[in-house]
Amino acid sequence: MFESVLVANRGEIAVRVFRTLRRLGVRSVAVYSDADAGARHVREADEAVRVPSYLDIDAVIEAARVTGAQAVHPGYGFLAENTAFARACADAGVVFIGPPAGAIEAMGDKIRAKQTVAAAGVPVVPGRDEPGLSDEELTAAALEVGLPVLLKPSAGGGGKGMRLVRDAADLPEAIASARREARSSFGDDTLLAERFVENPRHIEIQVFADAHGNAVHLGERECSLQRRHQKIVEEAPSPLLDAATRERMGASAVAAARAVGYVGAGTVEYIVSADRPGEYFFMEMNTRLQVEHPVTEMAIRPELDLVELQLRVAGGEPLPFTQEAVGFQGHAVEVRVYAEDPARGFLPTGGRVLALTEPHGAHVRVDSGLETGTEVGGSYDPMLAKVIVWGADRAEALHRMDRALAEYTLLGVPTNVAFLRALLKHPEVAAGRLDTGLVERSLEELTAGAAVPPQALAAAALERMRALETGDPDPWAIPDGWRPGAPAWTPWIITPSGGDPVEVRVQGRAHDALVQVGDAEPVAAALDGDTLTYGGRTLAYARARDGDTLWLGRDGATWALTEHVRADEQGGTAATGDGVLRSPMPGTVLAVKAAEGDKVDEGQPLVVVEAMKMEHTVTAPVAGVVARLPVRAGAQVALDAVLAVIEEA
């Protein structure tokens, strides 16, 4: 076993690898960028070294050299599948905890990978994958394969540059746009054409090989619940496969690994028709540990720590078990917690973690890089954490996951936790009838419950009332609008993040009041600590304040509620901010397309904000004159920060 290992990554995967290193008594080394100087993974390592970027090969190798690290674990993303990095490690005398550079190279190019595994007898999707196809040749290939067809970049992954074409008339534009995105993302616009499998399911096989010629598969993971080709939920085993199909797919995956001389952990991904589960086709091989590896760790027997197995195999040890010893017991499910807002089109979010409660208990695991005080910015991938559960069967695992997500509270950064709960309760998901388009087809119903409930708005107003109270029983001692003969209504303006202002009127004190939310009928309510009684229901909320914004959390949902001036101080109207442009996400201002004093039209682009490699153009909400423009290109802005104010003409 190694004495010291550097982890060339960040966030939850770095923390997860450190956990195994600590258990094995191996000294851990972290690297970090300026943006991560205060991150959890930096403090959890035995030593940490600053690098300009997680993609800086020379800096990472130098960090290994100066700290005496014998090996480097790349995690996933960044340099994990970088052939040059694997070779640089070898040249520096540092063990790369991953496959040989030649295997990474062979599987990193989709065209070469398909040709290699096809030669080993692995079934591949019918298509044309010769390198260097021109636009005309791609068009002919697509028509030859038969529509619908999937255009895919040869380089890279993550769904970038992929285009589904159902109509021949759409081919020229689809080819052009796929090339643009592939060139921008990977520096290579080579495309291939594949038959599109209708009702596709994404099923992958975990493989492991050592340097002594042994190779096994560890069963499958179902990864069909995706949005824009990004996985959201994974589970093992797949509810689709029977034992015979599992064995055939597993043997095929092992053959693919052997075809490139594979060593270490890898994943062979297949596309499977939901209508014909016995028909499966190779898509690609990920030459690294997968994000969803905990699903296999929890569901497979013998129980494994795949990171420990990576370390031992990289150190030259043989696999400690044979294929005959491997099998599933029970069912495991994993969900990915993202910094994104489903109610606002899944825009990336960010901010400071004000409060954090992660679920725990028997058969519940959380892999996380978070802690209270963590700053979530727009520089890196929006995945924050993973929740993984095990159950004796699929129904028990799904129920346990729902309860775990109900316990998950993160205040300060909007997340997709409530969306995940809704997704797992979808009838098709509960029945195991999955395909890669299910999430996109169901978005409207899955996000329908995202509106802020009146109870949360009432709690925010009562919290502000409580802040005014002094404890003096004299009604004249508190500025709540009390009048001789009867208490008056105290109006507040509460604005949910990304929503419209709502007038909430309160009569009485926080512990005994009538509350009217908008135009609804008044409801008896009381706030006692973190517990709200509203209309006869008693509800407990997690609570944290950030300036004028109150964050509330309950059952996996969170709401950021900002208190503005009271309604009576602005003429009684709740329609403040109609001409105010707010940032839809925390990020960097890329461009400002107007100046103060300019006349603008409704819908005219004014500011472009970028976060997590996503651009968003913010437009004028009304026609008028730019009265304020407090941002400039290059400025960092927070979620809901004011970008501009338009005065109506």
Could you tell me the domains of the chain?
A: 4-97 (3.40.50.20), 103-119+203-329 (3.30.470.20), 126-195 (3.30.1490.20), 330-449 (3.30.470.20), 454-570 (3.30.700.40), 580-648 (2.40.50.100)
Q: What is the mean pLDDT of residues 44-66?
A: 98
Query: How confident is residue 563, by pLDDT bands cut at 50, 70 and 90?
Result: confident
pLDDT at 344: 87
- Give dist(CA 497, CA 649) in Å, integer: 27
Between residues 427 and 450, the one the model is more confident about: 427
CA separation (Å) from 136 to 132, 147, 172, 173, 370? Answer: 11, 16, 9, 12, 49
pLDDT at 125: 84
Over residues 375-401, the pLDDT tens digits come to 998 888 899 999 999 999 999 999 999
Over residues 333-344, the pLDDT tens digits come to 999 999 999 988
Query: How confident is residue 36, by pLDDT bands cut at 50, 70 and 90?
Result: very high
Is residue 525 scored above 80 in pLDDT?
yes
Closest-CA residue to 215 (of 179, 268, 163, 162)? 268
Closest-CA residue to 251 (of 280, 287, 230)? 280
pLDDT at 572: 34
pLDDT at 155: 85
Between residues 48 and 639, the one the model is more confident about: 48
Q: What is the mean pLDDT of residues 349-372?
A: 96
- Give dist(CA 625, CA 215) in Å, integer: 68
Over residues 436-482, the pLDDT tens digits come to 999 999 999 999 878 899 999 999 999 999 988 766 555 555 555 55
Closest-CA residue to 263 (of 297, 200, 212)? 212
Q: SS3 string of 111-171?
A: HHHHHHHHHCCCCECCEECCCCCCHHHHHHHHHHHCCCEEEEECCCCCCCCCEEECCHHHH
Mean of pLDDT over the chain:
91
Over residues 166-177, the pLDDT tens digits come to 999 999 999 999
Q: What is the mean pLDDT of residues 261-268?
A: 98
CB atoms within 10 A of CB 604: 14
- Report CA Rg, the chain: 27
Q: What is the mean pLDDT of residues 92-111?
A: 94
Q: What is the mean pLDDT of residues 48-69?
A: 98
Kindly state the tokens that stand for 430. 């509960």
pLDDT at 282: 94
**What does the DSSP 8-state code read for residue 413?**
S
Is residue 1 scored above 80 in pLDDT?
yes
pLDDT at 472: 59
- Give dist(CA 623, CA 617) in Å, integer: 17
pLDDT at 474: 57
pLDDT at 568: 45
Query: How confident is residue 321, by pLDDT bands cut at 50, 70 and 90?
Result: very high
Over residues 102-149, the pLDDT tens digits come to 999 999 988 889 899 999 999 998 888 788 899 999 999 999 988 999
Kindly state the tokens that stand for 447. 């996000």
With H, G, I as helix, E, B as strand and everything else as coil, classify residue 595: coil
- Give dist(CA 480, CA 541) in Å, integer: 24
Q: pTM, whole model, 2 decimals?
A: 0.84
With H, G, I as helix, E, B as strand and everything else as coil, classify residue 183: helix
- Give dist(CA 363, CA 291) in Å, integer: 19
Q: What is the mean pLDDT of residues 4-23?
A: 98
pLDDT at 585: 75
Is residue 571 scored above 50 in pLDDT?
no
Over residues 203-222, the pLDDT tens digits come to 999 999 999 999 999 999 99
